Structure 1
Amino acid sequence: MTLVDFLPTLLRGALVTLEATVFSAAVALVVSVVVGLVRLSRFRVLRGVALVYVEVFRGTSALVQLFYFFFVLPLLGIDLSPMTAGVLALGLNFGSYGSEVVRAAVLNVPRGQHEAAVALNYSPALAMRRIVFPQALAAMLPPFGNLLIDLLKATSLLSLITIGDLTFAGKTLVQGQGHVTEVYSLLLVIYFVMALALGRLMQAAERRVPGAVAKEAAR
């Protein structure tokens, strides 16, 4: 068999990998913003709950978390499909890291911007939406880009819970056809191409955000 013969199976797996990446990234983004802002809340209980979540998910193995969602939750009466379990596990894991990015970016907005919002008689929520968060977003994008690429690579763990992602497709080909060197070399290339594409997309977003922030500030 030639390398071309392996491509259809691997590309189908790559589509599953991209699907898992997109859905996990969506969960991680929502969790990052919500938890990151809750960490800045004036309510101690909310800050405490958010801190516990962050410490637990950052302090334990992503693989163990994945197995917990897939193998343990059904024993507790919560049945999840493999993809749902994988997306939730990865989304919550990377959301814990992303929340710290959000928190740090908001804290790094100059104090004068907060004072300007007070002078304009903005409510705290409006000040966050119109002034603080748009400026913080520009600082968030580079680390978010790194987390997105790490998330893409972490989807290879999903092959361990029967999801037919790129890594699973590669292992299936090796077990059925052999050609270990060829198959895993193709896996490296495909992962690299996907990571490169995601990196370019995030760089494009980084170039566009400052202009969007300036327009929002001028409104």
Structure 2
Amino acid sequence: MSAITLYTGAMLQGAVITLELTAGATVVSLIAGAAGAVGRLYGPRTLKAFIFGYVETIRGLPAILQLFILYFGLTQFGIDVPAYWAAFIWLCLYGTGYAIEIFRAGLQGIPEGQHEATAALGLTRFEAMRRVIIPQAWVAMLPALTNFVVLELKNTTLVYFIGVQDIMFHARLGVSNSGQPLAIYGIAALIYIVLNGTISRVGGILEKRAAIAS
């Protein structure tokens, strides 16, 4: 078996880890991001300040530094997080910071008249959000949410630095052992293109359906 064939198989196995991390972190980030956006827009002043600080910290620090602080920094306090779970937690924390801004922008994009109309109909804020505001914001947010999922998948390329056996981990190993960087990295690039292209395709389908439904 050639080195390229061997490491192509290994990278495809690593793609399973990549997809696990991406899918899990995306779900957690979107749920936390939606809650954070509502808190930032409608919560008490203290909560708004905390969420603002969190978002600015996530956006202001380099991604790799965040990951290293979580994985290596906590060992100073005797906290040893396994590499896979450190990667997952970091992707969730990082993703939440950006998801909050996506949801916040989407909710703020709804005309004030819509909020006034729901109040005139006697809807509670929760009912208004669930039945009127969020369905409209969802259509506008879909392109940004699709890009968000792609971003989360791209961010997994950093986790090989802490030993998570994703696509890049096996690609780097293949290059070291085979001495064929162009071929190995080219195959890794193709895998990422297929994965991200699939995400973009699914996002495009959802956008069309949401536009028709609205």
| TM-score where L is the length of structure 1 | 0.91
Closer, same or farther: CA 42–36 of 1 in aligned 2, 3 Å:
closer
Aligned-pair identity in percent equals 33
Q: Report the counterpart of residue 129 of structure 1 in structure 2.
A: 130
Tell me the SS of whatever aligns to 2:72: helix
| CA offset digits 1:6-52 (Å, max 9, x no partner) | 32111001111111111121222122111111110241111001001
Aligned counterpart, 1:26:
27
* Larger mean Cα displacement after TM superposition, 5-14 or 60-69: 5-14
CA RMSD after TM alignment: 1.6
Aligned to 1:54: 55
- Aligned partners of 1:60 and 1:190: how far apart in 2? 28
Higher relative contact order, chain-length normalized (CA < 8 Å, sep 6+): 2
In the alignment, the residues of structure 2 paired with residue 122 and residue 39 of structure 1 have an alpha-carbon distance, to the nearest angstrom, of 21
Partner of 2:171: 170
Q: CA shift at 1:180, angstroms?
A: 1.4
Deviation for aligned residue 1:211: 4.9
Aligned to 2:147: 146
- Secondary structure of the residue aligned to 1:40 is helix
5+ long unaligned stretches in structure 1: 215-219
Q: Tell me how far apart the structure 1 counterparts of residues 15 and 80 of structure 2 sit (CA, whole Å).
A: 26
Residue type at the aligned position of 1:124: R
Q: Distance in 1 between matches of 2:165 and 2:66?
A: 19
Conserved 8 A contact 1:31-1:96? no
Per-residue CA deviations over 1:51-77 (Å, capped at 9, x if unaligned) read 010011110011011011111123334
Partner of 1:92: 93
State how many pairs are aligned. Answer: 213
Structure 2 distance, partners of 1:55, 1:38, is 15
Contact (CA 8 Å) 1:54, 1:97: kept in 2 or not?
yes
The one-letter code sitting in structure 1 at the alignment partner of 2:125 is: P
Q: TM-score with structure 2 length normalisation? A: 0.93
> Which ranges of structure 2 fall in alignment gaps of 5 or more residues?
none
